[in-house]
Amino acid sequence: MKGKGNEGVARKLFIRTYGCQMNFYDSARMADVLAPIGYVPAEGPEEADMVILNTCHIREKAAEKVYSELGRLRALQHEKAAQGGRLVVAVAGCVAQAEGAEIMRRAPNVDIVLGPQTYHRLPEMVARAHRAGGGGGVLDTDFPVEAKFDHLPEQAAPQGASAFLTVQEGCDKFCTFCVVPYTRGAEYSRPVADIVAEARRLVAAGALEITLLGQNVNAYHGEDEGGRARSLGWLVRRLAEIDGLARIRYTTSHPLEMDDELIAAHGAEAKLMPFLHLPVQSGSDRILAAMNRRHDAAHYLRVVERLRRARPDLALSSDFIVGFPGESDADFRDTMRLVEAVRFAQAYSFKYSPRPGTPAAAIQDAQVPDALKAERLAELQAALQRDQRAFNEACTGRTLAVLFDRPGSRPGQLAGRSPYMQAVHAPLSGQALGRILEVRIERANASSLAARPPDGQADAA
């Protein structure tokens, strides 16, 4: 029997996550918050009593997905209701924060709308939604004064061999194209003691690798036990003291916040993996200024040079936007030049998408036509893919330590990540799952590597 609001009766929860890794972390924490009131994971929306869409507002396409998904869920809600049941639908994340009231208006089948800073209050919202019985939704998109991290359960579902840990949230940078400062709010750093405790719990539950997350993770300045503000570089070295933790990563960084302590950590701390995602957006000083990135291309190249001096094998990744308002051919050439200079191991690139409420979207007469954006994107992506392939090919014949954390796409295969974040697959049995193994790279594909298992490697030696 399915209880309405009865504690101790298992109800099924399905969460669909869009957007960045912080949203994936948040989804896991929402599941943790709902576990004590009886929610267990569902395989899909069809068998769920509650579906949460954890949404992303970064580009128009991402935001529009929400409404089409809500349309599909409405049909499911009707089916459930016809059988005397109920499917509660919640919209969380950055679209919820940005346009909560509009969601309620456009999609009356939504029971709950909650922002990224209020999900510790979910049990209360669920209870209210059940009391309302389908009429009238619950909207909670506050930026509460209490930090949600202080109200989340310590007990967390295990994340496996590679785990995420949010250390910093929000952004005060206000790049002119970006919604994040509005959807996530002001920068906030969690205290060191909380992070160390959470890291220890993750390691005890089987994590070998922890990725420290933040919208501006290297702006981290949390207080240590003595009340002193500490940098991310310091935090990395502190976490590296945890026995059993083999790998540390962090994402996403801003070029202005790569301080000496963090760059030094790349040279000094073997557990800090030789891979860094460092978004640059553009190689044109004029566009960087219009984006309010607050640094020029030369600054970025200097940071890269210092990082490579500290850690010569560091692999770099980045984000690019083409077609920012006013971007000329000459500006785009500057971006291509920066790509040639750095040679990224991997990268993400996007057409500029005007976002409501951001300063760049209000620039009336300088929007770049879509066809030109598409042309530039294709040229940029061809260069980035060429560099990624070259980086991958340079790894063939090498032995790399791979953390195998998931089944491969074919039976009898496992997949994992190299120190440089490359996807690697190898013919291995399930026994190797959750382990770091030295494997020999046999073949490079466009975006992954094929490896030979350790015994084959012994033959080759």
CB of 21 to ligand SAH, least distance (A): 11
* Binding of residue 252 to ligand SAH (CB under 6 A): yes
Among 90, 94, 217, 345, binds ligand F3S (CB under 6 A): 94
* Binding of residue 404 to ligand SAH (CB under 6 A): no
Among 174, 197, 333, 337, binds ligand SF4 (CB under 6 A): 174
The amino acid sitting at 231 is S
Distance between CA 38 and CA 66 in Å, rounded? Answer: 26
Which backbone phi and psi does 221 adopt, to 5 degrees? Answer: -150, 45
The residue (of 292 and 399) whose beta carbon lies closer to ligand SAH is 292
Among 215, 282, 388, 457, binds ligand SAH (CB under 6 A): 215
* Binding of residue 181 to ligand SF4 (CB under 6 A): yes
Distance between CA 217 and CA 212 in Å, rounded? Answer: 7
- 352-411 binders of ligand F3S (CB under 6 A): none
Which backbone phi and psi does 97 adopt, to 5 degrees? Answer: -65, -40
Q: Which does 189 bind (CB under 5 to 8 A by kind): ligand SF4, ligand F3S, ligand SAH, none?
A: none
Nearest to 377 by CA among 236, 253, 282: 282
| Tokens encoding 407 | 């089944």
* Binding of residue 319 to ligand SAH (CB under 6 A): yes
Q: Which does 23 bind (CB under 5 to 8 A by kind): ligand SF4, ligand F3S, ligand SAH, none?
A: ligand F3S
* Binding of residue 281 to ligand SAH (CB under 6 A): yes
CB of 282 to ligand SAH, least distance (A): 9
Among 183, 216, 251, 281, binds ligand F3S (CB under 6 A): 183
Binding letters toward ligand SF4, positions 225-264, x by CB under 6 A: -----------------------------x----------
332 forms beta bridges with: none
Among 11, 12, 29, 57, binds ligand F3S (CB under 6 A): 57
| Tokens encoding 142 | 């506050």
The residue (of 285 and 393) whose beta carbon lies closer to ligand SAH is 285
Phi/psi-derived region of residue 8, left when phi > 0, alpha when psi is between -120 and 50, beta in every other case? left
Q: Which does 174 bind (CB under 5 to 8 A by kind): ligand SF4, ligand F3S, ligand SAH, none?
A: ligand SF4
Q: Which does 353 bind (CB under 5 to 8 A by kind): ligand F3S, ligand SF4, ligand SAH, none?
A: ligand SAH
SS3 assignment for the chain = CCCCCCCCCCEEEEEEECCCHHHHHHHHHHHHHHHHHCEEECCCHHHCCEEEEEECCCCHHHHHHHHHHHHHHHHHHHHHHHCCCCCEEEEEHHHHHHHHHHHHHHCCCCCEEECCCCHHHHHHHHHHHHHHCCCCCEEECCCCCCCHHHHCCCCCCCCCCEEEEECEECCCCCCCCCCHHHHHCCCEECCHHHHHHHHHHHHHCCCCEEEEECCCHHHCCCECCCCCECCHHHHHHHHCCCCCCCEEEEECCCHHHCCHHHHHHHHHCCCECCEEECCCECCCHHHHHHCCCCCCHHHHHHHHHHHHHHCCCCEEEEEEEECCCCCCHHHHHHHHHHHHHHCCCEEEEEECCCCCCCHHHHCCCCCCCHHHHHHHHHHHHHHHHHHHHHHHHCCCCCEEEEEEEEECCCCCEEEEECCCCCEEEEECCHHHCCEEEEEEEEEECCCEEEEECHHHHHHHC
With 0-12 CB in 10 A as exposed, 13-18 as middle and 19+ as buried, what is 228? exposed
CB of 358 to ligand SAH, least distance (A): 7
Binding letters toward ligand F3S, positions 207-246, x by CB under 6 A: --------x-------------------------------
Among 53, 56, 98, 178, binds ligand SAH (CB under 6 A): 178
* Binding of residue 17 to ligand SF4 (CB under 6 A): no
* Binding of residue 352 to ligand SAH (CB under 6 A): yes
* Binding of residue 188 to ligand SAH (CB under 6 A): no
* Binding of residue 213 to ligand SF4 (CB under 6 A): no
The residue (of 126 and 178) whose beta carbon lies closer to ligand SF4 is 178
The residue (of 359 and 456) whose beta carbon lies closer to ligand SF4 is 359
- 143-182 binders of ligand F3S (CB under 6 A): 179-180
Q: Which does 59 bind (CB under 5 to 8 A by kind): ligand F3S, ligand SF4, ligand SAH, none?
A: ligand SAH
* Binding of residue 175 to ligand SF4 (CB under 6 A): yes
Could you list the residues that contact ligand F3S (CB under 6 A)?
Answer: 19-20, 22-23, 56-58, 93-94, 179-180, 183-184, 215
Could you list the residues that contact ligand SF4 (CB under 6 A)?
Answer: 171, 173-175, 178, 180-181, 215-216, 254
Could you list the residues that contact ligand SAH (CB under 6 A)?
Answer: 58-59, 177-178, 180, 215-216, 252, 254, 279, 281, 319, 321, 350, 352-353, 355
